[in-house]
Structure 1
């Protein structure tokens, strides 16, 4: 993540995010790599940063740049996805796909929003969507970044993959009920090889 003094002055408002990189590292772990906005040629409007939390063997992929896009979100937003290290590429794909959708449609996420897809998001899986959530284990300070005065400047939505059966379950019973089912069956939401509970 770039710090404020590394960003061009024309980015405007970047001072609101001083300390963001350090805050993300505090919870998500050591930065292990980054993918620039122009990785495929043209500037897609955001980059991706990879973090590794060794003690839990978790990789978190976080978007970097959505907060400067005209998405209409207040406060600004970035997206994250946490998985086991071996599944990092899948997390990269989910964050990239969802970020691209937000930039193209100039829209933003709200808590507990489902972003469905007609086909599986990941080959060989039943994951047909993601749930925009707070992080399952990181504290609220990861999800809600505030400036030194305590004003909320950024929300980091964690994308939790949901299966087609779980999407239908949400339509019938709601997100809260799905979370209760996940807790009941001790679902490991960081494991992309997990079974569907519905």
Structure 2
């Protein structure tokens, strides 16, 4: 079901998101694939769309439909994760897992929220959390989508993977301190093979 048709069946709220697909494509690149809400049988309440920025060798996976779920977000939310193209499956997993969590708990993210996990989120890595962030590369218009009247209708939170050491650092020193560490060590947050800075 398209986002527009889904909006018609959810009280006609889709008109608030006219131009969203074009906006996402403008920043994240042309779509290269999609995963429907019922990919595993039961409708999970959102799909996933893959976008490519060839000049940066980046894939961005963005949820589609989370904005229609009763998760209490105002403005509505979708989730994104940008990684190098060969790591796209990991980005798909992180967006899917976090979206499942929000739908299952009927909750939403806030800026700079850390979502921790006891075990590594990705096999063979030290990533134990994701950070809900603005996008490190795309402009603010990607993160904050407004309607034709300039009213903010949607936030697209980018999920930045955080290692266990960095998670503990955040618990001690805060997210702003972690961002300073990333900047100090020129961390490539799109590389899931990167080392921890804490």
Counterparts of 1:82 and 1:113 in 2: how far apart (Å)? 18
What are the Cα deviations for residues 156-183 of structure 1, in whole angstroms up to 9, with x where unaligned? 0000000000000001111001000000
Q: By how many angstroms is 1:7 displaced?
A: 4.2
Note if contact 1:3-1:18 (Cα within 8 Å) is conserved in structure 2: no
Counterparts of 2:29 and 2:54 in 1: how far apart (Å)? 7
Gaps of 5+ in 2: none
Counterparts of 2:126 and 2:6 in 1: how far apart (Å)? 40
Instruction: Give the structure 2 partner of residue 9 of structure 1.
Output: 8
Instruction: Give the structure 2 partner of residue 170 of structure 1.
Output: 170
Segments of 4+ moved more than 2 angstroms = 1-4, 6-9
6-15 vs 135-144, which moves further: 6-15
Note if contact 1:77-1:154 (Cα within 8 Å) is conserved in structure 2: yes
Alignment of 1:112 onto 2:112: yes
Q: Secondary structure at the match of 2:111?
A: coil
Counterparts of 1:138 and 1:30 in 2: how far apart (Å)? 14
Aligned length: 197
Gaps of 5+ in 1: none
Counterparts of 2:101 and 2:131 in 1: how far apart (Å)? 14
Note if contact 1:3-1:21 (Cα within 8 Å) is conserved in structure 2: no
Alignment of 1:91 onto 2:91: yes
Superposition TM-score, scaled by structure 2 size: 0.97
Q: By how many angstroms is 1:10 displaced?
A: 1.8
